[in-house]
Structure 1
Amino acid sequence: MHQNRRIQLLAAASIITLAALIFIQVYLIRNTYQLHKSGFNRTLKQKIDTLAQLPAMAALEDQMQENLKNAVTSYMKGELTKEGIFKELTSLNAKQAETYRNWLRQLSEERFHTVGLQYQSVYDELTVEVLGRADTLLRATEAPFTVIGPPAVSSEKLLLNRNTWVTNRTISDEKVPGREIDLRIVVRQSNYFWVSDWQLGIYREMAAILILATVLIAAIIILFYLIFHSLISQKKLAAMKTDFANNVTHELKTPLSSVSVILKSMKKIDINAQPMLMEELIGSMDRQYLKIQRLVDHVLESTSSDPVLQLESVDMPGFLLEYARDIAVPDHHVQLEIGPTNNSVQSNPLALMRIMNILVDNAAKYSPKGSPILIRSLALGTHYQIQVTDQGPGIARKYHKLIFEKFYRVPEHDRHSVKGLGLGLFMAKAAAWQINASLELATNDPDGCTFTLTLPL
């Protein structure tokens, strides 16, 4: 109980440690992600800022400024309204905007290795100063006017730069012939950029880190699993060894006690004077010796390496008829049902005999006295099956695979009503493997067990 408690505490501590390690790993990855994101945006901003200074881009900017001057001139002449200025600008800038988009697409693919780079230039405020008076065409509190780029605003957009620039235009005064008027156009402009697939770009940069982190987390989980699996296996093995030692002690105690009593009886003078009684005691001692010898042979056989068996043709109906005729099971009757076909298999008679003896012996030990033990055989396609069925209490499905392990016995609340070492089914399974056969268990309904030996035809 103390050991179980210690294992539970160790498991809890290990799980907490594992969770802490995973949390730290995720935290570091998240911080690295943020650093890469900042570096990615900073690098992109620097490249765009540098490319915007190219002569071709400067020429585009100059052309758009000229378009603005033309639109404002038309407004001052009364040819356009305030709203009409921005429609006119959209029309005048259409060619430059298309050129800008093509240039940006090309740069995205060639220099930034991304197809999602977006650029947006907007007028936040537009004012015309003439003859000492200011006429605000676009207020700072109003929605900005998009000069270049998509009108939609991305939540991920980043400010590239913000500046205020001034340009001048001289126009003729329509009211006073021959007089010219100086226009001073003041523009507050903001430029933004964003990458719609920026996450993909960052993940590319972090690919090695993400893979390494994933491998490390997986390795830690696998390591913890292997440690606990080994710990549980060792605990299980220790429990099985303890159970085996207790069973061997119990199995040896009865015959040794009988031998001790017999030896004490044989030392008595009056017993020596009775030859028939002496012969009976010697016979009883011989039987106890055979029990001990059988127990020792059983243990030694379970620890020996699997020998290579010679396979030969075995007439299965004949083998089973002879086996059922020769076997004697106290307090039980063996019933035999053989399929209608005659079949021979490549097997080993001694191995078959060993398997059948173990299955029938188990059936007799765990079945009520007087109940029948059924041996049934049948051919199914390319296989021949032998079934041994008893009327015992059955075995829960969760123990079906465990019962074939060495020293394993189905738990009975820390006691076993039937003597044994937990070696019989292990040796039967090993013998079946030696002759290329399989041994499986199916629980009957409602009681009993059916062990099926399947041999290839």
Structure 2
Amino acid sequence: MRKKIKLLIIASILGLLSLSLVQGYLINNTYKLKKDVFISETKKSISRIDDVSPSLDSINDVWQNYFLNVVADYYVKKISKEDVLIMLHKKTDSINNSYIENYQKEIESKNIGYNLKFQKKVKTIILLDSLGVKNDTLFQSATKPSFLLLGKNFSNKDSHNVSNSLWLTDHSFVREINGKRKSVTFNLQFQTEDRMNIDGWEKIVFRRMTSLLILSVIIFLFVFGLLYYSIKNLITQKKIADIKTDFVNNITHELKTPLSTLTLATKMLKKEEIKMQPKVIENTINTIERQNIRLQKLIDEVLNNSLGYQEIKLNKETVNASDYLNMIVDDFQLSLDSKEITFNKNIIINAEIIIDKFYFTTAVLNILENAVKYGKDNLNIDINVDAKKDFTISIKDNGIGIPKKHLAFLFDKFYRVGNKEVHNVKGLGLGLYYTHQIIKAHKGEVFVESEENKGSTFTVIIPVK
């Protein structure tokens, strides 16, 4: 049975991990989809700003016309290729602030709702001759990093591509060549890439996924809680079944001895030779009476000690704590046959407590009997009392102790420590349970501290008033 429970727990954990992995995979896919949709929406909203905005269009005309004249100078070999790029940089730098300002106004007019930066980068500048046969590459991003034309500067790693634009134009110009004014035409291919940077786009995407993430967490916690509850219930039921089985075995063992004696005594009384011996008959009847009392005590122990604290009806009275406890310990000490048990009492205290003497005495005696049952040779029992705040009784022994794993269940009904050495002691597992119920009925608490081979300490705390 225990092996089956372990296999069930392992299978449940593996199932939960599989569910988590599937859920994580679906959330990741949803995140990617939401991200793509968000980026696509943003691209769509800004993709044609350059084309539809008069202010931006006029700024673009300024640098484009200027650049055509610069290329014309290069075409007739008045300036170098490097000069073309330097002069383009200078021109776009001079108008860039105006471009950014106007672009930002266009974005605000669209009510996008988040901070967005834009840039236009140069990818290729190619000059073609009039026949389109011989190309002159002024700039190529394949060999050099693309450079900023207009907009804000940010890295490609933090940005997204919006679009690629290709500007093709044939330009005619007049220049003085070898002292003569001549009209010359060239074809220009100017390719740019538009990119955007969105501040905190990850947070925006996650915000759009909030309901999904919350639902996923709730479902996961629900499944985890259900699994935990089911396994816990299964383990609890297994423990209850074991405890009940243990109790049945114990009560059967306890009942067998008096029943066997009664059977034997009854058979003896039926014999003719016994009937002629009054002394034997009297002894046999006394034996039957003793075993009958023993059976009655066993039944009473099961019935009375099984009561819960709600069912215990207290008849409280005020007693002197010191006199009352000294009387209990003295009477208990007199009932012991062993001379190897030493009682160390520290119960001289001037305090009164309100208790049910019958029930509270039973509780204290159960703890003392427990200490004696599970004691060692030369057993020492220390009894200390304190009434500074609440009334506290501490009963400490140097017995065999209790393993830590059993402490949490020590006050459960029918529970007995699963230890061969301990199970050599007779009992039904009801004494400490009953003690706990009595203390709870007095609105108090009982605790236990123990260490194997070093002993145990039971502490009872009840309100003074």
Q: TM-score, normalised by structure 1?
A: 0.88
Amino acid in the other structure paired with 1:205:
R
Amino acid in the other structure paired with 2:143:
E
Contact 2:351/2:387 (CA < 8 Å) preserved in 1? Answer: no
Identify the range of structure 1 (249-258 vs 121-130) with the bigger mean alpha-carbon deviation.
121-130
- CA distance in 2: counterparts of 1:141 and 1:335, whole angstroms: 96
Correspondence for 1:424 among 403, 426, 431: 431
C-alpha deviation, 1:360, in angstroms = 1.9
Amino acid in the other structure paired with 2:284:
L
Q: Counterpart in 2 of 1:408?
A: 415
C-alpha deviation, 1:8, in angstroms = 2.9
Q: Counterpart in 2 of 1:383?
A: 390
Task: Calculate the aligned-residue CA RMSD, in Å.
Answer: 3.0
Task: Return closer, same or farther for 1:410/1:309 CA change in 2, 3 Å cut-off.
Answer: same
Correspondence 1:156-235 to 2 at 5 A? 157-166=160-169, 168=171, 170-173=173-176, 175-182=178-185, 184-235=187-238
Q: Counterpart in 2 of 1:314?
A: 319
Task: Return closer, same or farther for 1:35/1:291 CA change in 2, 3 Å cut-off.
Answer: same
C-alpha deviation, 1:207, in angstroms = 1.5
Over residues 261-314 of structure 1, what are the superposed CA-to-partner deviations in whole Å (9 max), with x where a residue is unaligned? 222223334444444443333333222222222221222224434234244322
Q: Counterpart in 2 of 1:82?
A: 81
* Partner SS for 2:314: coil
Contact 2:119/2:149 (CA < 8 Å) preserved in 1? Answer: yes
- CA distance in 1: counterparts of 2:354 and 2:62, whole angstroms: 96
Contact 1:360/1:373 (CA < 8 Å) preserved in 2? Answer: no
Over residues 39-63 of structure 1, what are the superposed CA-to-partner deviations in whole Å (9 max), with x where a residue is unaligned? 2222222111133332233233223
Correspondence 1:126-141 to 2 at 5 A? 126-128=125-127, 135-139=136-140, 141=142
- CA distance in 1: counterparts of 2:101 and 2:295, whole angstroms: 96
C-alpha deviation, 1:382, in angstroms = 0.9
Over residues 146-166 of structure 1, what are the superposed CA-to-partner deviations in whole Å (9 max), with x where a residue is unaligned? 202326332653251232322
Amino acid in the other structure paired with 2:296:
Q
* Partner SS for 2:416: coil
Contact 2:403/2:452 (CA < 8 Å) preserved in 1? Answer: no
Residue ranges of structure 2 left out of the alignment (5+ in a row): none
Contact 2:121/2:147 (CA < 8 Å) preserved in 1? Answer: yes
C-alpha deviation, 1:198, in angstroms = 2.5
Q: Counterpart in 1 of 2:454?
A: 447
Correspondence 1:49-128 to 2 at 5 A? 49-56=47-54, 57-72=56-71, 75=74, 81-105=80-104, 107=107, 111-115=111-115, 117-128=116-127
Q: Counterpart in 2 of 1:289?
A: 292
Task: Return closer, same or farther for 1:83/1:376 CA change in 2, 3 Å cut-off.
Answer: same
C-alpha deviation, 1:184, in angstroms = 4.2
C-alpha deviation, 1:169, in angstroms = 5.4
* Partner SS for 2:447: strand
Q: Counterpart in 1 of 2:245?
A: 242
Task: Return closer, same or farther for 1:237/1:397 CA change in 2, 3 Å cut-off.
Answer: same
- Aligned-pair identity (%): 26
* Partner SS for 1:443: strand
Contact 2:306/2:434 (CA < 8 Å) preserved in 1? Answer: no
* Partner SS for 1:125: strand
Task: Return closer, same or farther for 1:76/1:323 CA change in 2, 3 Å cut-off.
Answer: same
Task: Return closer, same or farther for 1:134/1:40 CA change in 2, 3 Å cut-off.
Answer: same
Residue ranges of structure 1 left out of the alignment (5+ in a row): none
Kindly indicate whether residue 330 of structure 2 is the aligned counterpart of residue 325 of structure 1: yes
- CA distance in 1: counterparts of 2:141 and 2:462, whole angstroms: 91
Number of aligned residue pairs: 453
